Structure 1
Amino acid sequence: MTMVVVTDVTTIPPTLACTNPEVLRNIAVGKAASQSSTNKKQGGVAELAVDGNKNTDLRAGKSCTWTNKEFQPWWKLDLGSSKDVYQVVITNRQDCCSFRLKNAEVRVGDDPKHENNPVCGMMVMGKRSRQETVTMNCGCGESMQGRYVSIQLKDKTQQMHLCEVEVMTL
């Protein structure tokens, strides 16, 4: 009697890392920013996400945005003219509530209405929403063209905090 052993093997193809140009620079510092609302109690205005300060402690660092608790809060940056955007790097709040970045979606494009612009990278989900630094690769080696960069929490009612947003170009 011959015994046949069958093994159930699932092969998952490896995910290739994005290869962006090595010399990218942040062009977001000091650009005009806006957001859906501002938590008046804490004063987390939109411009704090592009002040060059990556302090992740909202109260001690005084350098993070803070919206009110609302449905699908958003933040938007105007670069002044259309640029080739390779990455958007978000510095997330770490002293509390880092989970609030869950369901964040980044968009880059030339339409002032952020919801009309194409999505950059993948929605922030799971453990990734708690990371201090979340990097969105817009085209995985290719750039996306746009004047406006936006971040919005999708399909949820929540406050949103952003401690720094970097827009990386050549």
Structure 2
Amino acid sequence: MAHTGDAVATRFIKMAHNFTSLNPGEWIRLQNQETRHYGPSKAVDQDRKTEYHSDDRLVYPWWVVDLGSTRIIYLIKILSRQNSYDFRFHDIEIRVGSERVDSGNLTSYTLFSRYLGPYKASYGYLSCHRAEGVEGRYVSIQRVTEEDDMLILQDVQVYVAP
């Protein structure tokens, strides 16, 4: 499977005194396949009218971000598609790792959170919080059920220790 990488600018909101935003210039997008129209940077482009989604008919679709250096991550907020296809966001694992994985097998990463779903657009952002924080450089979001439906992300925000 081919990987693509492209630099992106994104926003990260300071939520509380113990969290800080990341330098947008340090972010690099990765994914497990080429997409025709909705590249991985669309999940962090500050435009809620755009979205990332994987191509059709992929089993275990995934999305990974390289934070540029090792960080202690406390909170990850995810906004899935906000229309009639919101049901596609379910059985999701959010993981944090220290080494780049190109195979799509992200089980070596530490499990940060799991979302079983089903998701509804009225939920808005899903917040995944780890009070003790998880150290890593890479954050992954992956559907872990054996079905060939797209992974769709409208916005992803990561909060780290200052």
Cα distance between partner residues in 1 of 2:63 and 2:73: 17
Alignment of 1:94-105 (within 5 A): 94-105=82-93
Q: Which of 10, 19, 22 lines up with 2:16 in the alignment?
A: 22
1:32 aligns with 2:48: no
Contact (CA 8 Å) 1:92, 1:162: kept in 2 or not? Answer: yes
**Which is higher, the Rg of structure 1 or of structure 2?**
1
Q: CA deviation at 1:162?
A: 0.5
SS at match of 1:48: helix
1:28–1:95: structure 2 CA closer, same or farther, 3 Å change rule? farther
TM-score scaled to structure 2, two decimals? 0.77
1:52–1:29: structure 2 CA closer, same or farther, 3 Å change rule? farther
Letter in 2 for 1:135: S
1:48 aligns with 2:37: no
Q: Which of 46, 59, 66 lines up with 2:53 in the alignment?
A: 66
Q: CA deviation at 1:29?
A: 4.2
Q: Which of 134, 145, 153 lines up with 1:155 in the alignment?
A: 145
Tell me the residue number matched to 1:119. 111
Cα distance between partner residues in 2 of 1:117 and 1:145: 10
Letter in 2 for 1:152: Q
- Tell me the percent identity: 25
The one-character-per-residue Cα deviations of 1:65-122 (angstroms, maximum 9, x if unpaired) are 011121000000000110010011101111221111101110012021233111102x
Cα distance between partner residues in 2 of 1:29 and 1:72: 28
Cα distance between partner residues in 2 of 1:153 and 1:33: 18
Contact (CA 8 Å) 1:27, 1:169: kept in 2 or not? Answer: yes
Provide structure 1 residue ranges, at least 5 long, that are not aligned to the other structure.
Answer: 1-20, 56-60
1:145 aligns with 2:135: yes
TM-score scaled to structure 1, two decimals? 0.73
Alignment of 1:77-116 (within 5 A): 77-113=65-101, 114-116=106-108
Q: 4+ residue runs of structure 1 moved beyond 4 angstroms?
A: none
Q: Which of 133, 139, 145 lines up with 2:125 in the alignment?
A: 133
Cα distance between partner residues in 1 of 2:46 and 2:126: 16
Contact (CA 8 Å) 1:29, 1:50: kept in 2 or not? Answer: no
Letter in 2 for 1:25: T
Which structure has the highest strand share of the two? 2
Contact (CA 8 Å) 2:94, 2:141: kept in 1 or not? Answer: yes
Cα distance between partner residues in 2 of 1:166 and 1:158: 23
Q: CA deviation at 1:147?
A: 0.3
